[in-house]
Amino acid sequence: MSPADTLHHARAQLGTWLTLLAELVETNTHADNQDGIARCHALLKPRLDALGLDVERVSAQGTSPRDPGLVLTRRHLLARTPVKAGRPTVLLMGHLDTVFPVDHPFQRLERWGDEWRGPGVSDMKGGIVTALFTLHLLREAGRFEDANWRLILASDEEQGSPTALPVLERAAQGVDLALCFEAARPCGGIVKARKGYGSARIRVRGVSGHAGIAHDTGVNALSALAQFIVQAEALEGRYPGLSVSPGGVVDVRPTQVTSIPDHADCEIEWRFALPADGEAVTSDLRDIAVRVASATRATIEVDGGVECAPMAPTASSERVLAHYVHAARELGMEIGGVSTAGVGDINLVAKLGAVCLDGVGPEGAGFHTAKEFVVTDSIARRASMNVAALGRWFDELAG
| DSSP label at residue 171 | H
Write down the H helix ranges in the chain. 3-25, 34-50, 125-140, 165-172, 221-233, 275-296, 315-330, 345-351, 376-398
Task: Give the DSSP H/E element, type plus range, for residue 111.
Answer: strand 110-112
CA 356 – CA 352 distance, rounded (Å): 10
pTM to 2 decimal places = 0.91
For 334-389, the pLDDT digits (tens) are 999 999 998 999 999 999 889 999 999 999 999 999 999 999 999 999 999 999 99
For 237-264, the pLDDT digits (tens) are 999 999 999 987 789 999 999 999 999 9
Estimate the crossing angle of helix 34-50 against helix 3-25, to 10 degrees. Answer: 150
Fold of 3-195+310-398: Aminopeptidase (3.40.630)
Give the CA distances from residue 150 to residues 1, 52, 258, in Å, rounded to whole numbers and listed in that order. Answer: 24, 11, 61
CA 172 – CA 45 distance, rounded (Å): 21
* Diameter over CA atoms, the chain: 84
Domains of the chain, by residue range, sit at: 3-195+310-398, 196-308
* Cβ atoms within 10 Å of 366's Cβ, excluding its own: 15
CA 141 – CA 102 distance, rounded (Å): 40
Q: pLDDT (tens digit, 0 to 9) for every residue of the chain, 399 residues total?
A: 799 999 999 999 999 999 999 999 999 999 999 999 999 999 999 999 999 999 999 999 998 877 778 899 999 999 999 999 999 999 999 999 999 999 999 999 999 999 999 999 999 999 999 999 999 999 999 999 999 999 999 999 999 899 999 999 999 999 999 999 999 999 999 999 999 999 999 999 999 999 999 999 999 999 999 999 999 999 999 999 999 999 877 899 999 999 999 999 999 999 999 999 999 999 999 999 999 999 999 999 999 999 999 999 999 999 999 999 999 999 999 999 999 998 999 999 999 889 999 999 999 999 999 999 999 999 999 999 999 999 999 999 998
| CATH classification for the domain delimited by 196-308, as one of 2.60.40.2250, 3.30.70.360, 3.50.50.60, 1.20.1250.20 | 3.30.70.360
Estimate the crossing angle of helix 315-330 against helix 3-25, to 10 degrees. Answer: 100
